[in-house]
C-alpha cells in the first residue's frame, strides 16, 4: 500500500516524457555546447567537430533521416581570411537531418553551431581576444538548443505534418554564412521543393521590455495571415526585412521566404562573457512554443511565394 501510494505520488509529480519544448533540456544543450571544455567551437577545431557530433547524435536519437552527404554530415572547407593568423583553410560540416512525412514540399529549420573559438578568427569585440574562450551561449548554443527541441517535438508528436521538415545545423556562420551558402550551392534536396526557412540565432537573452524580434515578415505575402491573432506569453514583434543577421540571409538571396528569431544584442555579444548562466531558458521555451504555433499554421497553407523586401 505504501509502495503504491509512493508510486502514485511519483507519477503525479514527474511528468512522463513530453515532446514539448522544455527549459530543462534547453539548459542541458546550452551547458554542453557553451562549456569552457568546448573552447568556443571555432571552425576547424576538434571542439567544433564535437559539437557537430552532439547534434548528429540527437538527430539520430529522434529518428531523423540523415540528409547530409556522409550520413548527417555535409563536409566543406571554410576559408578563414587573414585576421590574427595568416589565411587558412579549415574543415568543418553542416549537420542535416530530415523528417520525411512523404510530402511534396519541405520546410527548413536552421541554426548555426559554430562560434569564435579562442578569439583568433576575427569578429571578437573583446579588446585582447586571443586565447580567450568565446563560449557563445546565446550565439548560438541557444539556437542549436531550439533546433534540437523543435526536431524532437516534430519527430515525436505522432502527427504526420503536411510538409517534410529539414533540420540543419550550419557550420562556419561566423566566417560569413559559409555553411548555409555551401548547402544552397550544393543542396541535398532540390531547392524548388523548399517552402520557407526558419532561422534561430541568439534566442537565449529574452528582454521583456524589447520582446523577441521576428524578421522576414515581408518575405512572403503569406506571413501576415499566419501571424494574425497568434498569442504568446512572451512579447514579440515583426520586422519585414529578411536579408540580414544570420543564415536566413543566404536563403533570402535564393528567393526563399524566411523567418528569423532573435532576442537582441547585449554587452556580451561576441565576447568571452557570452556564458550559459546568462541564458533565460524558460523564455526560450516560450519562444519555441510560439514558433510551433506559427509553423503549425503555416503548414495548413499551400506552399508560399517569395516577395522581395525593399
**Residues lying near Zn ion in the complex (CB under 5 A):** 139-140, 201
Q: Which residue lies nearer to Zn ion by CB, 47 or 139?
A: 139
> Which 3-state string (H, E, C) describes 4-33?
HHHHHHHHHHCCCCCCCCCHHHHHHHHHHH
Q: CB-based burial of residue 310 (10 Å sphere; 0-12 exposed, 13-18 middle, 19+ buried)?
A: exposed
Smallest gap from Cβ 63 to Zn ion, in A, equals 28
The 3-state DSSP composition of the chain as helix, strand, coil percent (nearest 5) reads 35, 20, 45
Considering the complex, what minimum distance in angstroms separates the CB of residue 140 from Zn ion? Answer: 4
The SS3 call for residue 199 is strand
What is the nearest approach in angstroms of Zn ion to the Cβ of residue 19?
A: 26
Contacts of 298 (CB under 8 A, 6+ apart): 107, 195, 196, 222, 226, 304
Query: Of the two residues 116 and 151, which places its CB atom closer to Zn ion in the complex?
Result: 116
Closer to Zn ion by CB, 135 or 140: give it: 140
Residue 154: how many other CB atoms lie within 10 Å: 25
Q: In terms of CB distance, is 107 or 111 closer to Zn ion? A: 111
- In total, the chain counts a number of residues equal to 310
First to last CA, the chain: 70
Q: How far is the CB of 280 from Zn ion (least distance, A)?
A: 17
CA 123 to chain centre: 20
Question: How do strand 194-200 and strand 106-112 relate by DSSP bridges?
Answer: parallel
Closest approach of Zn ion to the CB of residue 174, in Å: 7
For cell 520586422, what's the residue? 239
Angle at 43 between CA 135 and CA 23, to 5 degrees: 40
Cβ 259 to Zn ion shortest distance, Å: 16
- If the CB atoms of residues 96 and 175 are measured against Zn ion, the closer one turns out to be 175
Nearest residue (CB) to Zn ion, 47 versus 66? 47
The overall longest dimension of the chain from CA atoms, in Å, is 72
Q: What phi, psi does 93 have (nearest 5°)?
A: -160, 155
Residue 226 and residue 297 in contact, taking contact as beta carbons nearer than 8 Å: yes
Residue closer to Zn ion by CB (options 63, 244) is 244
Query: φ, ψ for residue 98 (rounded to 5)?
Result: -120, 130
* Residue 139 Cβ vs Zn ion, minimum distance, rounded to whole Å: 4
Closer residue to Zn ion (CB): 66 or 216: 216
Q: How far is the CB of 247 from Zn ion (least distance, A)?
A: 9
Amino acid at each position: 500500500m505504501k509502495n503504491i501510494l509512493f508510486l502514485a505520488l511519483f507519477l503525479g509529480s514527474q511528468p512522463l516524457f513530453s515532446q514539448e519544448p522544455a527549459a530543462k533540456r534547453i539548459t542541458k544543450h546550452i551547458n554542453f555546447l557553451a562549456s569552457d571544455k568546448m573552447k568556443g567551437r571555432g571552425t576547424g577545431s576538434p571542439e567544433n567537430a564535437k559539437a557537430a557530433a552532439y547534434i548528429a547524435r540527437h538527430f539520430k536519437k529522434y529518428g531523423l533521416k540523415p540528409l547530409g552527404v556522409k550520413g548527417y554530415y555535409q563536409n566543406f572547407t571554410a576559408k578563414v581570411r587573414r585576421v590574427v593568423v595568416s589565411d587558412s583553410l579549415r574543415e568543418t560540416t553542416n549537420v542535416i537531418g530530415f523528417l520525411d512525412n512523404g510530402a511534396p514540399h519541405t520546410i527548413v529549420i536552421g541554426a548555426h553551431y559554430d562560434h569564435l573559438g579562442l578569439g583568433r578568427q576575427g569578429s571578437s569585440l573583446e579588446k585582447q581576444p586571443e586565447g580567450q574562450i568565446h563560449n557563445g551561449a546565446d550565439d548560438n548554443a541557444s539556437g542549436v538548443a531550439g533546433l534540437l527541441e523543435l526536431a524532437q517535438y516534430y519527430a515525436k508528436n505522432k502527427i504526420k505534418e503536411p510538409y517534410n521538415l529539414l533540420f540543419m545545423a550550419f557550420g562556419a556562420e561566423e566566417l560569413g554564412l559559409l555553411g548555409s551558402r555551401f548547402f544552397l550551392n550544393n543542396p541535398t534536396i532540390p531547392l524548388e521543393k523548399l517552402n520557407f526557412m526558419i532561422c534561430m540565432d541568439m534566442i537565449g537573452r529574452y528582454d521583456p521590455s524589447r520582446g523577441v524580434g521576428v524578421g522576414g515578415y515581408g518575405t512572403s505575402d503569406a506571413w501576415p495571415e499566419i501571424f494574425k491573432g497568434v498569442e504568446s506569453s512572451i512579447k514579440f514583434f515583426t520586422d519585414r526585412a529578411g536579408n540580414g543577421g544570420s543564415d536566413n540571409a543566404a536563403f533570402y538571396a535564393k528567393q526563399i521566404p524566411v523567418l528569423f528569431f532573435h532576442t537582441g544584442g547585449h554587452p556580451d555579444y561576441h565576447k568571452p562573457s557570452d556564458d550559459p548562466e546568462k541564458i533565460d531558458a524558460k523564455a526560450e521555451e516560450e519562444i519555441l512554443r510560439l514558433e510551433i504555433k506559427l509553423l503549425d499554421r503555416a503548414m495548413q497553407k499551400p506552399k508560399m511565394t517569395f516577395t522581395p523586401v525593399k
